[in-house]
Amino acid sequence: MNKQWMEFAESIKNLYGKDFIALHEPTFNEKEIDYVTDCVQTGWVSSVGSYVTRFEEDLAKFVGVKRAVAVVNGTAALHIALKIVGVRADDEVLMPSLTFIATANAVSYLQAIPHFVDVNEETLGVDPFKLEQYLGEIAELRQGELYNKQTNRRIKALLPMHTFGHPCMLDELVALCDKYKLELVEDAAESLGSYYNGKHTGTFGKVSAMSFNGNKVITTGGGGVILTNDEELANYAKHLTTTAKVPHCWEFVHDEIGYNYRMPNINAALGCAQLEKISQFIEQKRDLTRFYENLVVNIAGIRLFKEPIHTKSNYWLQVILLDEQNNRNEVLNFLNEQGVMSRPIWTPLHELEMYKECPKMNLAITEQLKQTVINIPSTPVKVSKEKI
């Protein structure tokens, strides 16, 4: 690697003041310690406690929805979100191949089938124009529901994912779902604090899911949430994720198969403290973007991915894109050897053994991005004005 790449790695290490820079780490201070200590001292550490309710209410207010239902992780949130909008066994769910495997796994938990669609280069998310053309060729409406003419299966939902926090083209996707009678379920796992035309992601579909894993913008250790403006769906989600137990003073009566997906109070306490600082985290991430933008101009054949038009992104993970002058694996090897943790984008799901036989459209952009996208360190950090 040349001198410019060496300077790139050294600049990142100097910014963070470390010899090894992780891709994304949580940021804690005394407030997290205080809230978690309160749980320990009072004994309210498990699935019941005031911090769960507080976290749900604070999060719903921040995002701008009526209800938030906290659960054990983002995959569980996706699973229940899909279930409550009516996805059943043998249904197909349209989703990008270029996403973390949890998106497809949640579909599979319902014995439904992922149907992989392509993304565009402007958002890294589902391409609504290519998808509309594709559906016009392979699908048809029958009595108000969409069916795949090739498999004769119902296509029930569209599950777009806001890649690395960058919002999809949501207006176009909403219109597409209206036209083809699809449920829009947003995989907003990575996009807390991201907005499309001034409206928070996760609020465009009937229901959506977010994640609070340790590497997300804010963390509850593990954790996820189901977001909706539909009170009836929220109540059903809460019921299903608390083992479908019918309220009673002492009896254990369950009225259907439920799931033990409750977020523990101690995790919610961590989330409450983190949510109080989310504006600071996002401001620092956006400053970090400007820092990287100044760095990449010195290296031939790479560019920094910037938020799409009409959006404000949380820049959860910073993205550089390589051209043919730079070999992806050589860049990854060099940066990691220098102590700057870097990762490729996920292996497209249609290439994984368990999903190879799933239906799919032409995935040319997905396969191109697989070879060109690299994530670089993205932990919020204070950047001095002279560096941006």
pLDDT score of 48: 82
Between 298 and 132, whose confidence is greater? 132
Kindly list the domain boundaries of the chain, sorted by start residue: 3-27+278-387, 30-275
Checking if the pLDDT of 303 tops 90, the result is yes
pTM of the model: 0.96
The model's pLDDT over 202-221, given as tens digits with 9 standing for 90+, comes to: 999 999 999 999 999 999 99
pLDDT score of 222: 93
* Of 141, 228, 148, 132, nearest in space to 181 by CA: 141
The model's pLDDT over 39-95, given as tens digits with 9 standing for 90+, comes to: 999 998 988 889 999 999 999 999 999 999 999 999 999 999 999 999 999 999 999
Is 366 in contact with 352 (CB distance < 8 Å)? no
Pairwise CA distance, residues 335 & 229, whole Å: 44
Kindly tell me the sign of the dihedral angle through the C-alpha atoms of 265, 166, 303, 344: positive
pLDDT level of residue 298 (50, 70, 90 thresholds): confident
The third-level CATH classification (topology) of the domain covering 3-27+278-387 is Aspartate Aminotransferase, domain 1 (3.90.1150)
H/E run at residue 94: strand 92-96
pLDDT score of 190: 98
The model's pLDDT over 83-114, given as tens digits with 9 standing for 90+, comes to: 999 999 999 999 999 999 999 999 999 999 99
DSSP state of 33: H
Identity of the amino acid at 94:
L
pLDDT score of 146: 98
Between 298 and 9, whose confidence is greater? 9
CA dist 112 → 63, 156, 160 (Å): 29, 10, 16
Checking if the pLDDT of 293 tops 90, the result is yes
Three-class SS state of 290: helix
Checking if the pLDDT of 387 tops 90, the result is no
pLDDT score of 314: 98
Residue for token pair 């043998």: 90
Instruction: Tell me what percent of the residues of the chain surpass a pLDDT of 90.
Output: 95
Pairwise CA distance, residues 194 & 315, whole Å: 8
CATH number, domain 30-275? 3.40.640.10
pLDDT score of 386: 80
| Beta strand residue intervals within the chain, DSSP E | 67-71, 92-96, 113-117, 139-142, 145-148, 154-158, 183-187, 195-196, 199-200, 207-211, 224-228, 302-304, 311-312, 318-322, 343-344, 373-376
pLDDT level of residue 324 (50, 70, 90 thresholds): confident
Identity of the amino acid at 119:
V
The model's pLDDT over 158-171, given as tens digits with 9 standing for 90+, comes to: 999 999 999 999 99
The residue-averaged pLDDT of 328-350 equals 97
Pairwise CA distance, residues 226 & 206, whole Å: 11
Instruction: Tell me what percent of the residues of the chain surpass a pLDDT of 70.
Output: 100
Pairwise CA distance, residues 265 & 41, whole Å: 13
Q: How many CB atoms lie within 10 A of CB 40?
A: 11
Q: How many CB atoms lie within 10 A of CB 217?
A: 27
